[in-house]
């Protein structure tokens, strides 16, 4: 792998062709230096020239690479850029740009006292333009100096061809031109000393993440709409890996069904996910087209209305046995009160719900046999129970819409039994940081990472700290200052969310939600659910993942509490929860990609 300047390079996410070229250049041999995004003053034109890539190699000399992306192409005797239905003529052709860059670079190096300057080769990269083999683009752009997508598969050979003008490499090396390209160690040092300060300041992490998010949202919208059209026609049971857009798809299908005049029941297990989904669908909830609830709130409501709520004993028995059994009996007997009120059922994060809890919910539909249903789950995130659902046609969504591939790869490798193939290894552009920590240092390590994020322009609301244990057991309190921010550690974090506070909680509490940056405090001991917890925690990261490995010591076992009378069960949840604007913003922020999706008017065939 070559030496990169800067390392890692930060190519804005919208520059797809530059990213393709950078991926190829990363495979150059280790003696090469690759500069990304250089700015050189063109003294003759009195303007800055930006060089996309400069390769410095002991045998190849200096190679300038200008990259042109999709929509840039030759038209007659000039070049144009096509964008948004418009065609714009370029002031300079790529050949003219490269020639000006070469002169500016040569003048700069001489003025900087670099001494002998090796031969400079000009190369145009066109990874998005279809060209015939051997096609030239003018006398200043012969085919040997054009990097097509095919040539990028072997970039070192392609650069050799550009330098030699198409001559066989060994024949060229024996010729007189080869010595003009040699970069000796002393010349290399002078060139590096001159070039490094000319690197363009990289965009901040906040800017990179914003561009990544906008790109992800644009590319996923059409695809999700297509999936929703397909999976809204019947009964489906979808299994999706991390970042596959399951919750987005659930909301999109809900909107499609509501647009068809159906009343939709949306059920989940996690209270925070449920409240966030309520905020994302509140227009339909207010129109009485959709009802969103946790399973237990729904069951307690119905049992209370029917005056059949079981007596409260042990909390575990009450919620895992008594309420589900009472709910099943209530629906089996048709005693829930009134006519069935819904025409479609969505179950999100279904792996957290036992199948014996879900199937009786069909009794709440007007037509239990034919009304459409959609179950979405990732069995690898089954932290509560091993659930095996068989409701609807099974389908696997083996894709990732919102995550850097390196994050998905880290999640799959953390839990090899997850059932999803990790993406191939590749440059992660800093998306995943695995850092050693220790029980004695993790708080200082965490504070240092938070400070680094703040310096990069990241806001506290973009960061989520996850751990296998509650913050209180780790010696952290709500409102405690850690690095540049204070902590929000309350279980119902949306209730008192304040500016300048970073969320922190257990992996369980944030299942189904996500954050731009996730910091996971990994245990320093063998946790019985360690791989699954890591997989689930990593999957919450949308753009950046930081793992403090070996951070947490095993907490001491709590002392047995004194005998006490069992508390009364929690009151039934209201049918529609209303949220103040700050609470709505906090909940929707945890969905990140929550959108007011517009159902399409066309229908698609079932997959």
| 104-147: pLDDT as tens digits | 999 889 888 888 889 999 999 999 998 988 899 988 899 999 99
End-to-end Cα spacing for the chain: 43
| Residues contacting residue 312 through CB under 8 Å, at least 6 positions apart | 318, 566, 567, 568, 569
| Residue appearing with tokens 């809890």 | 357
pLDDT in tens, 312-356: 888 889 999 999 999 999 988 876 665 568 999 999 999 999 999
Q: How many CB atoms lie within 10 A of CB 46?
A: 7
* pLDDT at residue 334 in the model: 77
DSSP state of 594: -
What's residue 507's pLDDT? Answer: 93
User: How does pLDDT run across 514-545, given as a tens digit for each residue?
Assistant: 899 999 999 999 998 999 999 999 999 988 99
DSSP β-bridge partners for residue 435: 548
Q: Which residues pair with 53 in a beta bridge?
A: 36, 65
Other C-beta atoms lying within 10 Å of the C-beta of residue 443: 19
Buried b (16+ CB within 10 A) or exposed e, 412-436: bebbeebebebbeeebbbebbeeee
pLDDT of residue 582: 67
The rounded distance, in Å, linking the Cα atoms of 232 and 250 is 10
pLDDT mean over 199-218: 70
Task: Give 507's Cβ-side CA count (13 Å radius).
Answer: 25
Q: Which comes out higher in pLDDT, residue 404 or 475?
A: 475
Nearest to 414 by CA among 506, 541, 515: 541
Residue 496, pLDDT score: 62
Q: DSSP label at 560?
A: P
Give the residue with greater pLDDT, 567 vs 441: 441
Q: What is the DSSP string of 379-393?
A: GGG-SS------SSE
Max mean pLDDT among 217-226, 307-316, 363-372, 548-557 falls in 363-372
pLDDT of 425 reads 81
Q: Span 65-94, mean pLDDT?
A: 90
What is the chain's length? 607
Cα separation, 256 vs 225, in Å, equals: 9
Instruction: Quote the tokens at residue 298.
Output: 């729904």
- The pLDDT assigned to 447 comes to 96
* pLDDT value, residue 275: 87
pLDDT over threshold 70, residue 472: yes
DSSP secondary structure, 129-173, as one string: S---TT---STTS-GGGEE-TTGGGSHHHHHHHHHHTTS-HHHHH
Comparison of pLDDT for 571 and 606, the residue scoring more: 571
Distance CA 376, CA 264 (A): 15
Taking the C-alpha atoms of residue 155 and residue 160, their distance in angstroms, rounded to an integer, is 9
Whether the per-residue pLDDT at 84 is higher than 60: the answer is: yes
DSSP string, 385-429: ------SSEEEEE---SSS-HHHHHHHHHHSGGGSSPPPPP---T
Instruction: Answer left, alpha or beta for residue 216, where phi above 0 means left and psi between -120 and 50 means alpha.
Output: alpha
3-class SS at 283? helix
Answer for the pair 520, 545: CB distance below 8 angstroms, yes or no: yes
Q: How far is CA 158 from the centre of its chain?
A: 33
Among positive and negative, which fits the CA dihedral 76, 78, 79, 84? negative
Q: Work out whether the CA dihedral 147, 150, 151, 152 comes out positive or negative.
A: positive
Tell how many helices (H) and how many strands (E) occur in the chain. 18, 22
Q: What is the pLDDT of residues 496-514, one digit of tens each?
A: 666 678 999 999 988 888 8
Mean pLDDT, range 432-444, rounded to an integer: 95
Is residue 513 within 8 Å of 272, Cβ to Cβ? yes
Tell me phi and psi for residue 515, to 5 degrees: -150, 155
Pair type for strands 146-147 and 120-125: parallel
Please return the burial class of 58, using the count of CB atoms within 10 Å of its CB with bins 0-12, 13-18 and 19+.
middle
- Give pLDDT, residue 596: 36
Closest CA to 349 of 244, 273, 280, 252: 273
Give the three-class secondary structure for 47: strand
Q: Is the dihedral of CA 333, 337, 343, 346 positive or negative?
A: negative
Give the per-residue SS3 of 322-346.
HHHHHHHHHHHCCCCCCCCCECEEE
pLDDT band at 590 (very low <50, low <70, confident <90, very high): low
As a whole number, mean pLDDT of residues 276-284 equals 90
CA-CA-CA-CA torsion sign (307, 313, 318, 322): negative
Mapped onto helix, strand or coil, the DSSP state of residue 60 is coil
- Is the confidence at residue 457, as pLDDT, over 80? yes
pLDDT of residue 587 exceeding 80: no
pLDDT at 56: 95
Is the preceding omega at residue 8 within 30 degrees of 0, hence cis?
Answer: yes
pTM here is 0.70
What is the arithmetic mean of pLDDT over 40-51? 81
pLDDT of amino acid 526: 92
pLDDT score for 575:
45
Give pLDDT, residue 600: 35
Contacting residues for 198 by C-beta, under 8 A, at least 6 apart:
38, 39, 40, 108
pLDDT above 90 coverage of the chain, percent: 56
Q: The tokens of 175 are what?
A: 């010729």
Give the pairing type, strands 485-488 and 61-67: unpaired
Is 382 within 8 Å of 539 (Cβ atoms)? no
Q: Cβ distance 59 to 181 under 8 Å? A: yes
Q: Could you say which DSSP state residue 182 is in?
A: -
Summary mean pLDDT of the chain: 86
pLDDT at 313: 84
């Amino acid at each position: 792998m070559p030496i990169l300047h800067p390392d890692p390079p930060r190519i804005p996410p919208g520059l797809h062709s530059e990213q393709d070229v950078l991926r190829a250049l990363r495979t150059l041999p280790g003696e090469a230096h690759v500069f990304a995004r250089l700015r050189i003053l063109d003294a003759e034109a009195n303007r800055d020239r930006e060089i996309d890539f400069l390769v410095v190699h002991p045998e190849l000399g200096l190679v300038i690479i200008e990259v042109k992306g999709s929509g840039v192409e030759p038209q007659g005797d000039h070049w144009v850029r096509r964008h948004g239905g418009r065609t714009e003529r370029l002031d300079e052709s790529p050949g003219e740009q490269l020639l000006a860059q070469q002169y500016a670079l040569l003048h700069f190096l001489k003025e900087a006292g670099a001494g002998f300057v090796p031969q400079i080769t000009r190369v145009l990269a066109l990874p998005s333009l279809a060209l015939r083999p051997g096609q030239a683009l003018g006398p200043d752009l012969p085919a040997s100096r054009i990097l097509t997508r095919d040539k990028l598969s072997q970039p070192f050979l392609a650069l050799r061809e550009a330098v030699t003008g198409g001559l066989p490499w060994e024949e060229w090396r024996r010729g007189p031109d080869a010595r003009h390209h040699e970069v000796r160690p002393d010349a290399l040092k002078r060139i590096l000393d001159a070039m490094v300060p000319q690197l363009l300041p990289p965009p901040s992490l906040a800017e990179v993440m914003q561009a990544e998010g906008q790109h992800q949202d644009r590319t996923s919208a059409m695809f999700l709409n297509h999936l929703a059209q397909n999976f809204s026609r019947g009964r489906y049971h979808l299994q999706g890996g991390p970042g596959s857009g399951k919750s987005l798809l659930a909301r999109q299908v809900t909107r499609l069904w509501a647009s068809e005049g159906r009343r939709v029941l949306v059920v989940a297990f996690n209270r925070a996910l449920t409240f966030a989904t309520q905020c994302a669908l509140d227009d339909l909830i207010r129109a009485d087209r959709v009802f969103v609830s946790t399973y237990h709130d729904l069951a307690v409501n119905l049992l209370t209305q029917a005056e059949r709520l079981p007596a409260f004993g042990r909390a575990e028995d009450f919620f895992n046995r008594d309420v589900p059994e009472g709910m099943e009996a209530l629906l089996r007997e048709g005693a829930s009160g009134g006519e069935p009120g819904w025409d479609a059922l969505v179950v999100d994060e279904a792996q957290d719900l036992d199948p014996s809890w879900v199937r009786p919910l069909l009794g709440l539909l007007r037509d239990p046999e034919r009304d459409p249903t959609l179950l979405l789950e990732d069995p690898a995130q089954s932290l509560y129970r091993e659930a095996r659902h068989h409701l609807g046609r099974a389908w696997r969504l083996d894709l990732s819409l919102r995550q850097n591939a390196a994050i998905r790869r880290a999640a799959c490798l953390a839990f090899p039994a997850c059932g999803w193939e990790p993406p191939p290894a590749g440059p992660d552009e800093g998306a995943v940081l695995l850092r050693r920590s220790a029980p004695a240092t993790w708080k200082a390590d965490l504070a240092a990472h938070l400070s680094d994020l703040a310096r990069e322009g990241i806001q506290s609301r973009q960061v989520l700290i996850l751990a296998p244990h509650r913050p209180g057991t780790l010696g952290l309190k709500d409102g405690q200052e850690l690095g540049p921010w204070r902590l929000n550690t309350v279980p119902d974090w949306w209730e008192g969310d304040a500016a300048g506070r970073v969320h922190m909680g257990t992996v369980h509490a944030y299942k189904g939600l996500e954050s731009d940056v996730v910091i996971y405090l990994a245990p320093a001991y063998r946790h019985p659910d360690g791989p699954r917890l890591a997989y689930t925690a990593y999957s919450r990261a949308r753009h950046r993942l930081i793992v403090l490995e070996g951070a947490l010591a095993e907490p001491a076992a709590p002392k047995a509490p004194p005998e006490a009378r069992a508390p009364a069960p929690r009151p039934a949840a209201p049918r529609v929860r209303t949220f103040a604007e700050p609470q709505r913003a906090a909940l929707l922020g945890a969905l990140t990609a929550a959108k007011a999706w517009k159902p399409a008017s066309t229908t698609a065939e079932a997959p």
